[in-house]
């Protein structure tokens, strides 16, 4: 009976080990990003990261080998998390609003514009993600260390930004097919939409060092959508190009 109990205890411990290892690894990654963001790569030390993660220093080395590998892993993990949240917001841009607007279904009251409302919802969500302290910390750290680790630009930002652009382009294409947007290059539309959001916000937030009030986020989101729809809204007459001088 004792042997059976001991075997059961060992099996339980074995099953728990992978989960515990994953949790410990994540704790190290989270702590590492915080320390790197606060102190920069050069001033950060493995002892401080281990202390912040609540593990022994040798545990950090066992998981990641050295400081440079840990920095790469922490940056990529944080970049993936930030981009995952952005993608979740972008996926809220659906053709449902365009369908209601085109068919005049009940629920789209007089004067309402479901496409505009949907775009504003997504714009506001993307601005909130842009102004998230972790997102700004990631960008500032990437800017600060880009000359030391140029490969991180693509690993942390490039692939993620491309995924966000492609996700938005896919949604823009669906909106165009549903009649909510004019026939357009959806990738170009996605790029323009993102530029109208991120450009003003970098200036207004001073690269994340200034808190942007919610009312100001609303103003930027509404202005971005208003400008975007002037170019891409369906069934809008386009101004004629001026005739070339003879």
The average confidence (pLDDT) of the chain is 84
Contact 164, 90 (CB under 8 A): yes
Domain ranges of the chain: 14-65, 74-232
Among the CATH numbers 1.10.357.10, 3.30.1360.200, 3.30.70.580, 3.90.1200.10, which is that of 74-232?
A: 1.10.357.10
- d(CA 58, CA 143) in angstroms, rounded, equals 30
CATH architecture of 14-65: Orthogonal Bundle (1.10)
Is the confidence at residue 169, as pLDDT, over 50?
yes
**Paired tokens of 28:** 């190290």
Comparing 5-14, 37-46, 163-172, which segment has the lowest mean pLDDT?
5-14
Q: For 192-214, what is each residue's pLDDT tens digit?
A: 999 999 999 888 988 788 899 99
pLDDT band at 112 (very low <50, low <70, confident <90, very high): low
Higher pLDDT, 229 or 10: 229
Higher pLDDT, 225 or 109: 225
Q: For 149-165, what is each residue's pLDDT tens digit?
A: 999 999 898 888 999 99
Would you state the torsion angle of the CA atoms of residues 6, 7, 8, 11, taken in this order, to the nearest 10 degrees?
Answer: 120
On the CB side of 172, CA atoms within 13 Å amount to 23
pLDDT band at 109 (very low <50, low <70, confident <90, very high): very low
């Amino acid at each position: 009976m004792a042997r059976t109990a001991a075997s059961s205890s060992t099996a339980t411990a074995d099953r728990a080990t992978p989960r515990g290892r994953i949790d410990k690894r994540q704790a190290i990654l989270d702590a590492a990003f915080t320390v790197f963001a606060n102190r920069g790569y050069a001033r950060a030390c493995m002892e401080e990261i281990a202390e912040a993660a609540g593990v022994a220093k040798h545990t950090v080395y066992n998981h990641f080998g050295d400081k440079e590998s840990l920095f790469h892993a922490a940056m990529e993990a944080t970049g993936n998390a930030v981009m995952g949240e952005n993608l979740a917001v972008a996926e809220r841009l659906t053709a449902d609003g365009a369908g209601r607007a085109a068919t005049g279904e009940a629920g789209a009251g007089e004067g309402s514009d479901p496409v505009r409302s949907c775009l504003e919802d997504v714009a506001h969500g993307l601005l909130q993600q842009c102004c998230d302290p972790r997102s700004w910390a990631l960008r500032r750290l990437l800017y600060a260390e880009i000359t030391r680790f140029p490969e991180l630009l693509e690993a942390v930002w490039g692939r993620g930004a491309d995924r966000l652009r492609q996700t938005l382009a896919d949604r823009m294409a669906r909106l165009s097919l549903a009649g909510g947007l004019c026939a357009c290059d959806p990738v170009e539309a996605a790029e323009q939409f993102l530029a109208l959001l991120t450009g003003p916000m970098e200036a207004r937030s001073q690269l994340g060092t200034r808190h942007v009030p919610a009312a100001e986020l609303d103003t930027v989101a509404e202005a971005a959508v208003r400008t975007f729809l002037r170019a891409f809204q369906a069934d809008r007459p386009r101004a004629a190009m001026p005739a070339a001088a003879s």
